[in-house]
Amino acid sequence: MRAGLARRHLLCAALVAAPLFGAGCGSGSAPSAPTIAAARTFHLARFRPAGRAHAGRPTLISFTIIQPSGSPLAAYKTGSGPHTGVDLIIVRSDDSSLLYEDTDIAANGRITQPVVFPSPGRYRIIIDAYPIETSAAIPRNFQMFRWVTVAGAAKLRTVPAFNPTVSVDGYRFTVQGRPSLHADQAAFMKIGVRDPRGRPTVFTPWRGALAHAIFIRAGSLDYFHTHVCSRGATNCTSLLGAAKVTGTSTTPGKLTVGVLVPVPGTWRLFLLVYVDGHYLTAPFTLTVT
């Protein structure tokens, strides 16, 4: 949200500098007001695709993150934990489907990833960056956003009500009890996972975690992301202001998923695991007060 605001300020600064009066940045359009330079922030350069994408075939997403200094950001965290590099979280406007993609980062800071959009519609691209904190101006992580439209008629879906059991490719995910969730407060959901033969599932570590819990708010598409890690894993905790949360799993078939989101509303939890050679995404609907 902050990045979007910053972009609008940049656009407004450009309009003020150009000989276009009354173009409408807020209420003031008098040409006598002094021009105020836009705040220097992180921004995206040369984001691609520039036009529409097509469902069912690879689309190359690429961009460079430019630092407040004006130079490309090229140093990102690496390591065995989940909070490294640059992640892409790609969600359809109706909060119905989600892709979670890693990226390649070139030495010059150019970031690329081929992505297959599943169906037509508008998709919000959430760029979640984990830079190396080389100075006080570099945050632990931050997000930037873009929209990509996938050609064709989108069949938008309404968000379903909470259902404690979700089946994905024969695997059953079951939430224990009805979670009581509040904005800005860490909570835990116990979720059992059984394979198609009813046995407790063994989770394979994938991208530094046993499970990735991605929360997307219906309507605004606000975003938060937590992880369930193996015992003793490092860099697993997710922070939101002063609150923090770390998911755990000590027994096959059982996940204790950390929930932490910034605002109330209807949220979708996309729970991603890697089991028996299958990537599974289980969606749940949550109410946060």
The footprint of Cu ion (CB under 5 A) covers 82, 212
Task: Please give the structure tokens belonging to residue 105.
Answer: 């980062």
CA distance 142 to 131: 9
Of 16 and 88, which CB lies nearer to Cu ion in the complex structure? 88
Of 120 and 208, which CB lies nearer to Cu ion in the complex structure? 208
Q: Which residue is nearest to Cu ion (CB)?
A: 212
Torsion of CA 211, 217, 219, 222, to 10 degrees: -100
Of 179 and 258, which CB lies nearer to Cu ion in the complex structure? 258
- To the nearest whole angstrom, how small is the minimum distance from the Cβ of residue 196 to Cu ion? 25
- To the nearest whole angstrom, how small is the minimum distance from the Cβ of residue 84 to Cu ion? 10
* HEC letters along 227-284: EEECCCCCCCCEEECCEEECEECCCCCEEEEEECCCCCEEEEEEEEEEECCEEEEEEE
Of 42 and 130, which CB lies nearer to Cu ion in the complex structure? 130
Of 63 and 224, which CB lies nearer to Cu ion in the complex structure? 224
- To the nearest whole angstrom, how small is the minimum distance from the Cβ of residue 218 to Cu ion? 21
Nearest to 285 by CA among 98, 159, 157: 159
- To the nearest whole angstrom, how small is the minimum distance from the Cβ of residue 99 to Cu ion? 12
CA distance 66 to 44: 6
- To the nearest whole angstrom, how small is the minimum distance from the Cβ of residue 90 to Cu ion? 13
CA distance 201 to 252: 6
| Burial per residue of 211-231, b for 16 or more beta-carbon CB atoms within 10 angstroms, e otherwise | bbbbbbbbeebbbbbbbbbee
